[in-house]
Amino acid sequence: MAITLVNPAGLPVIDVYRQVSVASGTRLVFVAGQVAWDAEGATVGAGDLAAQVEQCYVNVGTALAAAGATFADVAKLNVHVVDWTPDKMPLLLDGIARASARLGVTPAAPATLLGVAALDVPEHLVEVEATAVVD
């Protein structure tokens, strides 16, 4: 495996991700920010943050697979949420859990959560981008 995930002593343990990833692979995979589109470009889960998070993670999984990678190869995730407030965390976590169940994986790479004013279209509530490293 090209990625080793670590929670170093002296940093808090976060349930949904690790604090550090160490990459030893030779190929970098950069996945563009994925929004809640299906394969035909229709928005999935209009107005439903959890459903959109789920679709974003599924789309990241699809993009990774096209590059010969999986979530186990992800070194870093960035999650952008429109009008983020901490009370939205349960919906975010629910969407990640649903995607994990669909994909049969547990995304645990270091992650950054950013609140943003808007995304590409008003219907999109979240966007997820990934960087992976493979051998």
Quick one: which H or E segment has residue 101?
Answer: helix 89-103
Sorted by sequence, the CB contacts under 8 Å of residue 73 that are 6+ apart come out as: 1, 2, 3, 25, 29, 64, 132, 133, 134
Judge whether 61 and 103 are in contact, CB under 8 Å: yes
Mean pLDDT over residues 100-127, rounded?
96
User: Among 52-61, 101-110, 123-132, whose mean pLDDT is lowest?
Assistant: 101-110
The upper half-sphere exposure of residue 92, i.e. CA atoms within 13 Å in the direction of its Cβ, equals 21
pLDDT confidence tier of residue 15, bands split at 50, 70 and 90: confident
Residue 88 reports pLDDT greater than 90: yes
The pLDDT of residue 102 is above 90: yes
CA distance 129 to 135: 20
pLDDT for 127 = 98
> For residue 27, what pLDDT is reported?
95
- Count Cα neighbours of 88 within 13 Å in the Cβ-side half-sphere: 20
Digit-coded pLDDT (tens) for 42-79? 999 999 999 999 999 999 999 999 999 999 999 999 99
Q: pLDDT at position 106, please?
A: 87
Q: Give the residue among 103, 118, 102 at the shortest CA–CA distance from 72.
A: 103
- Partnered with residue 37 across adjacent β-strands are 43
Q: Residue 119's pLDDT is what? A: 98
